């Protein structure tokens, strides 16, 4: 294990320790997500950054300026290896971390191995946001579409994160004013305040890329509404932003005052704000894993 990898895991563990200290009622969730996040870090370290059959299109600056993300849905789907030993290795950590859905994970694994369903089609439905496709596959497997989304997203995420890392340096200084990721087109799972001036950043829920964004604009609908609500927790360093125009929400954290925290762990720690928003009829900007596992 190299030093960089060790440091990443150390920061992750310290962040989870902070959550468990401040919110002991989240212990079950933190145990599960600590397990899966560490497994993902170790898996990405072993994963090849590319494959011969993956074609990353050349960055089109004109399309980017028009608001189109770099990668197409076809390219994102291709970032995940075909069903085989590599993808198979993403299954055991899921079963261990989330025993409540272990039967569904095993059922999916058997169906893929037997050729009952096609992994590429499943991932394409996920990337496209095809509810009809998800319902069809989930019905065949005999469990809920939301569970299928959760499992597939956890299988896909390390491949996309690993295989888009090399793209970030090409795009980080280019202007981008959209609320979705300039690399993969996914919406953000969390809003961050970082830097001396407290610049707002959005973190992609799929590939993990971070980009600067206007403080009071909704990432989902793009409206700048001074009437939107910001509901803070007791520390005032964490909040949920409720958009009255599209009825979506996104949680946020001031990382300048949360030095032990990481963005991904913070999203889990703020699950109570997710519940608050959802009980009031708002939907998350991005359907991230902790949204599926939130109590209530």
CATH of the domain at 190: 3.90.1670.10
Same domain membership, residue 187 and residue 155: no
Most confident of the following: 101-115, 259-273, 281-295: 101-115
The CA-based diameter of the chain, rounded to the nearest angstrom, is 55
Output the pLDDT for position 291: 53
- At residue 230 the predicted structure's pLDDT band, cuts being 50, 70 and 90, is confident
Q: How far apart are CA 8 and CA 17, in angstroms?
A: 14
Segment 108-132 shows an average pLDDT of 96
Residue 174 CA: distances (Å) to CA of 60, 97, 177? 12, 38, 10
Q: How far apart are CA 187 and CA 207, in angstroms?
A: 10
Domain count for the chain, please give it: 2
- At residue 53 the predicted structure's pLDDT band, cuts being 50, 70 and 90, is confident
What would the pLDDT profile of 80-107 be if each residue is shown by its tens digit? 999 999 999 999 999 999 998 999 999 9
Q: Is the pLDDT of residue 200 over 80?
A: yes
Same domain membership, residue 150 and residue 38: yes
Segment 63-73 shows an average pLDDT of 96
Output the pLDDT for position 108: 97
Closest Cα partner for 205 from 183, 221, 222, 233?
Answer: 183
Output the pLDDT for position 296: 38
Residue 41 domain boundaries: 3-166
Q: How far apart are CA 287 and CA 49, in angstroms?
A: 26
- CB-based contacts of 292-296 (< 8 A; 24+ apart in sequence): 292/146, 292/147, 292/149, 292/150, 293/29, 293/32, 293/98, 293/150, 295/271
Backbone CA torsion sign across 93, 285, 143, 280 = positive
Same domain membership, residue 174 and residue 136: no
CA angle 241, 271, 210 (to 5 degrees): 60
Joined tokens for residue 294 = 């939130």
Output the pLDDT for position 192: 95
> Could you identify the residue written with the tokens 């990405």?
44
Q: Is the pLDDT of residue 221 over 90?
A: yes
Output the pLDDT for position 3: 56
CA angle 189, 193, 197 (to 5 degrees): 155
Residue pair 255/192 in contact by the 8 Å Cβ criterion: yes
The single-letter DSSP state of residue 183 is: T
Same domain membership, residue 110 and residue 19: yes
Same domain membership, residue 118 and residue 25: yes
- The pTM for the full model equals 0.91
Minimum mean pLDDT among 14-18, 131-135, 190-194, 231-235: which range? 231-235
Same domain membership, residue 46 and residue 120: yes
Minimum mean pLDDT among 40-44, 87-91, 96-100, 169-173: which range? 96-100
Q: Is the pLDDT of residue 197 over 90?
A: no
Segment 17-26 shows an average pLDDT of 89
Q: Higher confidence at residue 290 or residue 222? A: 222
Same domain membership, residue 182 and residue 75: no
Mark which of 141, 166, 191 sits at the end of a domain. Answer: 166
Mean residue pLDDT across the chain? 91
Residue pair 293/32 in contact by the 8 Å Cβ criterion: yes
Q: Is the pLDDT of residue 29 over 50?
A: yes
What would the pLDDT profile of 178-190 be if each residue is shown by its tens digit? 999 999 999 999 9
> Could you identify the residue written with the tokens 């407290």?
198
Mark which of 123, 141, 166 sits at the end of a domain. Answer: 166
Q: Is the pLDDT of residue 1 over 60?
A: no
Residue pair 172/148 in contact by the 8 Å Cβ criterion: no
Pairing of strands 283-284, 210-212: unpaired
Same domain membership, residue 157 and residue 218: no
Residue spans of alpha helices (H) in 129-216: 131-141, 145-164, 168-171
């Amino acid at each position: 294990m190299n030093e960089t990898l060790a440091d990443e895991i150390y920061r992750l563990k310290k962040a989870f320790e902070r959550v468990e200290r401040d919110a002991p009622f989240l212990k079950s969730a933190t145990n599960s997500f600590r397990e899966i996040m560490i497994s993902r870090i170790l898996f990405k370290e072993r994963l090849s950054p590319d494959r011969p059959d993956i074609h990353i299109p050349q960055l089109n600056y004109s399309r980017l300026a028009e608001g189109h993300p770099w990668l197409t849905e076809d390219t994102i789907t291709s970032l995940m290896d075909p069903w085989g030993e590599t993808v198979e290795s993403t299954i055991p950590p899921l079963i261990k971390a989330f025993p409540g859905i272990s039967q569904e994970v095993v059922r999916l694994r058997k169906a893929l191995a037997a050729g009952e369903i096609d992994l590429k089609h499943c991932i394409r439905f996920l990337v496209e946001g095809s509810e009809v496709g998800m319902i069809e596959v989930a019905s065949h497997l005999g469990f809920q579409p939301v569970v299928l989304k959760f499992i597939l997203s956890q299988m896909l995420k390390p491949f996309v994160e690993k295989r888009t890392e090399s793209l970030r340096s090409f795009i980080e200084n280019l202007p981008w004013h959209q609320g979705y990721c300039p690399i993969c087109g996914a919406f953000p799972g969390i809003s961050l305040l970082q830097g001396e001036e407290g610049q707002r950043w959005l973190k992609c829920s799929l590939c993990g890329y971070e980009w600067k964004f206007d403080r009071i604009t909704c990432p989902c609908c793009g409206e700048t509404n001074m009437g939107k609500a910001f509901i803070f927790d007791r520390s005032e360093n964490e909040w949920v932003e409720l958009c009255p125009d599209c009825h979506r929400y996104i949680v946020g954290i001031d990382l300048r005052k949360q030095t032990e925290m990481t963005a991904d762990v913070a999203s889990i720690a703020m699950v109570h704000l997710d519940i608050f928003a959802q009980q009031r009829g708002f939907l998350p900007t991005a359907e991230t894993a902790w949204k599926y596992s939130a109590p209530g």
